[in-house]
Chains A and B, each alone.
Chain A
């Protein structure tokens, strides 16, 4: 197993390099003088010249890439001109909040989605199946930002169950209870779409597995139906559900951008949107690379989980 993990970690290196190349190339598409684009049109000539030196902007594309990569490897993601602080500091400050939000949503959608999918498949065409199918359809059709806004209207403004927005109250203590109160609505709104997608795929994966011969074998052995569903079928279905979880984690992370906007959540998503609108290029570049790298690491964990589940992979 350790061998497999090491192998996956090593194989992540070209992926990370590829990501950096893609981001770099996209950013190289920016029209006009890069230094002006990065510093804005009010930059002083001295600052432009300094930046040109630091980032090698007066050199060729390849050289620029390696200077940029080298800087990043030393932990230097550049400096945000709008915030006037190092990009990495800003990203790290914000990343915690995103992690709390997206992590909670991911756990929520995985558990709910799989459970709903299994129940739906086990009771195919039954009342539970139809109800779940309908709710799921509603879930994948509603834009998460609209859902978030409606939840604010109903649960925060009308019913006053939860605070309208933010991660912490402006005054008062910062403890777990307060956090959960603030987290509940955004985490739920964020998880809805992914729950729906996972539930649908889990349902079809379960239906696929339940038709397999080995399920008939289990039944012929006299295994109890509950065991057939939750042990034999789900175990086999997980092989195709786990990669979906990996992909959905990316969607949750993506959806976090909208939810952070709606609920004023102080995460990286909001930071990125603000940065784009302010044309704070280095912050966008650094933020994107950082989050993508984290996602690559997460996907390695998904692969390891898959290998633990399916003995056929471990070679």
Chain B
């Protein structure tokens, strides 16, 4: 609760809204106590007094009534109407929505058909029909506005409830012996409540406008009582001669509704958990670069050389050092594996190469990425763009999400070709078909016309690979390309990749958490832990005799097929969170060989054997392992 108010207070506009609404509400509450003229006493000789006249600060209306007094009483009435309508609509609508969403099936179907019928009316028609039947009047207008808004709440809350009713914790509650009614009240409602509050706070303003609107038409509050809408309605005939009688109530409505809307947006933002993590930001075309110090020179003359790369995520006042100084290089035609657990920085390293780390919150803060001799960190966007897909291409993890859902597979391939090459559509079409054939997609011609949703996961990933190959790149960066796939499909995809690599002399950076895959595919492997490389070397050597304790223990705790039923050698503890990295070795807390000096200061990635490096003061003694 406190956190909620802190978040709300941080949003200056919301705070302004809160202040405005606070003042208006307080004034409305104390109106009966203020020394105001009676709002309903007519004084025709003194009609249409201008503003700031004696005895009437805001002047008088067409019947000589004091405008200030009428404004205060009208505000009171309008606020009460708006809030009442919002509460009634929210309670009824949410109840209907929760019941429909939770029970589903026929209950849901029948209720939602009814709601759809109500929503098939332009809302005012329904309100007008209700008022026509019940007769003009304040209460009837209130009923009409509330009734018209019930379907909006019902539909909104139903959607949220459906999502929650399918969460596993609801199943768990059932298994723990809870009944449906208890589940609705104790499990579902607390999760729906913030959404109800958001929906209410963003619609109160709207409700005030609607009730004012009905009064404006003469269908709401009846003379002599007036809310802001009917004041405006009565003033309309004197609009041109005495505009101030219109402007006063109109401006008040504007101020109230604007204040409520500002506050409502603030409430929404404060309650939306995604906003706290900065996840509602839109990623920029290229990752922001904020490099302090000069760019390091390339350490090798390899095709791709990453030197001391640092990438951070800046979320509010926290800094997550996802990549904390990575050196890597890939030769022409070589396959480099990067292995690590989630959060180790392996994907961020890969995405940093072409500036594809989502930014905000990602920032590249140091290092260089030399491709073909040119530093890409901080390169102009146009330089990056022309290299993306043409010389360095990516394959991503989840083929369901990485292809555009609304374009045909063929069109996406053709786009990839024509982005970098000025060829006719027909030529591109032909090439796309041959690309699909090269990744062994059966019936390539007809697959060109398929949408991603019509294909299986394996087929989609083949399309993803074909797209990466479209411009004959030099390097392919594959970010866990088989993790989302079933093992038999994974085997198919790996064999496609392996063949393509040999045929085309591709360099591949293959990111995975699976030693088996690395062992089968990669020439060299780099092991990452907490944003740094802890060990690097030829795959066979690293897997046979790992030198870093982390590598060694990680290999031990992953079961391999053929080992039979057994107890696994678990690593105690958890990987460190990268916004609070310890001094020295990040693995020290989980390592049974850790000494005081391991925690003293940073440890270098030092060569041990030809082509092997390890970041450890006490590397494992070479022991032959049974591979």
Contact = CB atoms under 8 A, between A and B. Distances in A.
Contact of B239 (A149, A222, A254, A269): A149
B83 interface: no
A291 interface: yes
Nearest to A287: B125
Provide the main secondary structure of the chain B interface: helix
Closest 9 CB pairs of A and B: A254-B124, A146-B250, A18-B117, A222-B389, A222-B388, A141-B258, A250-B122, A213-B401, A221-B389
Interface in B330-362: 354, 356, 358
Given A143-B253, A224-B385, A292-B120, A153 B209 contact: no
Contacts of B121: 19, 22, 250, 288, 292, 295
A143 B250 contact: yes
Interface string B594-618: 0000000000000000000000000
Interface of A: 14-15, 18-19, 22-23, 26-30, 121-122, 124, 137-138, 140-143, 145-146, 149-150, 152-153, 157, 164, 206-207, 210-225, 228, 232, 235-236, 239, 247, 249-251, 253-255, 257-258, 261-262, 269, 272-273, 275-277, 279, 281, 284-285, 288, 291-292, 295-296, 299, 309-312
Nearest to B257: A141
A279 B133 CA distance: 9
A143 B229 CA distance: 9
A62 B343 CA distance: 67
B404 A214 contact: yes
B406 A216 contact: no
Contacts of A218: 404
A216 B128 CA distance: 49
Interface residues of B, number: 81
B279 A211 contact: yes
A312 B453 contact: yes
Contacts of A235: 404, 406-407
Nearest to A153: B243
Contacts of A257: 124, 128, 217
Given A220-B393, A309-B406, A153 B239 contact: yes
23 contacts: A18-B114, A121-B282, A141-B254, A142-B253, A142-B257, A143-B257, A149-B246, A153-B239, A207-B282, A213-B396, A215-B283, A216-B396, A235-B404, A235-B407, A253-B124, A257-B124, A257-B128, A273-B218, A277-B219, A284-B129, A288-B129, A291-B122, A291-B125
B389 A295 contact: no
Contact of B123 (A122, A150, A164, A254): A254
B402 A214 contact: yes
B213 interface: yes
Contacts of A261: 216-217
A137 B258 contact: yes
Given A213-B401, A221-B419, A291-B122, A312 B388 contact: no
A269 to B, nearest CB: 8
Contacts, number: 225
Given A220-B356, A254-B123, A146 B232 contact: yes
Interface string B275-288: 00001111101000
B523 interface: no
Given A140-B261, A146-B232, A257-B128, A310 B388 contact: no
A118 to B, nearest CB: 11
Nearest to B404: A214
A257 B470 CA distance: 56
A122 B388 CA distance: 21
B420 interface: yes
Contacts of B229: 143
Given A137-B258, A143-B212, A277-B136, A292 B125 contact: yes
Contacts of B257: 141-143
Given A23-B129, A221-B419, A277-B219, 7 more contacts: A121-B282, A232-B404, A272-B128, A277-B136, A295-B120, A309-B406, A312-B405
B219 A276 contact: yes
B116 interface: yes
